[in-house]
Amino acid sequence: MARAWRYFLPLAIFFGLLAFLWKGLSLDPRAIPSPMINLPAPAFTLPQLHAPEKTFSAAEMKGKVWILNVWGSWCVSCRYEHPSLNRLAKQQLLPIIGLNWKDVPADAQGWLAKFGNPYTLSVSDAEGRVAIDYGVYGAPETFIIDKNGVIRMKHTGPIDEKILEEKLLPVIRELQK
Amino acid sequence: MSAYKAMAARLLLLAWFGMVNAFAQTPTPAMPPASPEMEARLKLLETELRCLVCQNQTLADSPAGLAGDLRREIRLLADAGKSNDEIKEHLRARYGDYVLYRPVVNAKTSLLWFGPFILLLGGAIMVWMMARQRRAASLAATPAISADEAARAQALLEGNDGPPH
């Protein structure tokens, strides 16, 4: 009996290791969990992309569930995500605020004119300090913020129909209740 | 590769770079030069913080745009009178423990910190157990002697050669 145990132990260790490595294959090492979930969204006041003389503050969204979407005309994945955002905007479920990250306003405006503008409005974060305040490390990133101004979900990377339907919309509907 | 193909590849590459350049991230705004003490302090902080884009590089080493922005953020916070710990905490609150190049010791990272020692201890215990088993096995393999042989051995030890064979 003791002998059998000795022979099977290395095999068991091997399979244990295999299980860890197998799990590792399906993990995205670039995904960094945000420590900001369920914490108040950082306050900001920034000039609007299409009306730089006017500003927009996160505080204006109090009482509404809203989306903060980080994008830039230089961001290739944002283009991939854009049709999904356009479709979401058509449903008029909630305000979508664009954080135009480190972009040239003329480039950004041209980009929206070409691909459609899903945003209720966009604000220009030319220096990228608001993005840092939100822990942004790569566009596109999407934050869902509840009626009390608390971040309830963050999605890093482009949104597609599947992610929208299965990950974002259920949370949005729940928060809007 | 034919000359034509090489040309086509070169053109494609040019077009690609052209596309990337057409829409570029705005560069990090330049900062006024820092005093030597401040420079040394920033350098230290930058080597202790991770670039979130090139994840195996520190902020000091990374050429990524975000790293530049974060270096500027550190400088702005330092200029505002924040201590090194406050600056690290400021970034940790936004980017998580991951931003610290040296992982913190907590429940989640305990396996990372102490796992190797646990493995070492486990290995030592295994070697000790195996050595013990082996010794027991070699002792067991030695054949037992009969009462007759024992008496002879006893006689030999006492200097009595006993009866001849």
Is the minimum CB–CB distance between B93 and chain A shorter than 8 Å?
yes
The answer to which of A1-10, A34-43, A161-170 has the lowest mean pLDDT is A1-10
The pTM of the full predicted model, rounded to 2 decimals, is: 0.76
For A49, the token pair is 């992309």
- Give me the residue from B69, B95, B96 closest to A128, CB to CB: B69
Average pLDDT of the segment spanning A129-156: 95
Tally Cβ neighbours within 10 Å of residue B55. 13
- Confidence (pLDDT) at B2: 59
- Give me the residue from A30, A104, A135 closest to B26, CB to CB: A104
- Is the Cβ pair A29, B55 closer than 8 Å? yes
Domain positions in chain B are 2-99, 110-158
Tally Cβ neighbours within 10 Å of residue B78. 18
Is the minimum CB–CB distance between B94 and chain A shorter than 8 Å?
yes
Residues of A in Cβ contact (< 8 Å) with B69: 102, 127-129, 131-132
- Confidence (pLDDT) at B150: 86
The answer to which of A37-46, A127-136, B28-37 has the lowest mean pLDDT is B28-37
Which class for B36: exposed (0-12), middle (13-18), buried (19 or more C-beta within 10 A)? exposed
- Is the Cβ pair A36, B93 closer than 8 Å? yes
Is the minimum CB–CB distance between A72 and chain B shorter than 8 Å?
yes
Tally Cβ neighbours within 10 Å of residue A40. 12
- Confidence (pLDDT) at B85: 94
- Confidence (pLDDT) at B163: 60
- Is the Cβ pair B94, A33 closer than 8 Å? no
- Confidence (pLDDT) at B1: 47
- Confidence (pLDDT) at B3: 64
Residue A127 has pLDDT above 70, yes or no: yes
Is the minimum CB–CB distance between A74 and chain B shorter than 8 Å?
yes
How many helical (H) and strand (E) elements, i.e. helices and strands, does chain B have? Answer: 6, 0
Nearest to B73 by CA among B62, B59, B56, B53: B59
Is the minimum CB–CB distance between A35 and chain B shorter than 8 Å?
yes
Q: How does pLDDT run along chain B (165 residues), one tens digit per residue? A: 456 766 676 666 555 554 444 567 888 888 888 899 999 999 999 999 988 887 778 888 887 888 999 999 999 999 999 999 999 999 999 999 889 988 888 888 888 889 999 999 999 999 999 999 999 888 887 777 788 888 888 888 887 665 655
- Confidence (pLDDT) at B138: 85
- Nearby residues of B153 by Cβ (< 8 Å), 6 or more positions away: B145
How many angstroms separate the first and last alpha carbons of chain B? 94
- Is the Cβ pair B73, A129 closer than 8 Å? yes
- Nearby residues of A141 by Cβ (< 8 Å), 6 or more positions away: A69, A70, A134, A154, A155, A156, A157
Mean pLDDT of chain A: 93
- Is the Cβ pair B66, A73 closer than 8 Å? no
* A63-121: pLDDT as tens digits: 999 999 999 999 999 999 999 999 999 999 999 999 999 999 999 999 999 999 999 99
Class of the B2-99 domain? mainly alpha
Q: Which residue of A has its CA nearest to B26?
A: A102
Residues of B in Cβ contact (< 8 Å) with A125: none
- Give me the residue from A103, A131, A137 closest to B53, CB to CB: A137
- Confidence (pLDDT) at A68: 97
Is the minimum CB–CB distance between B18 and chain A shorter than 8 Å?
no
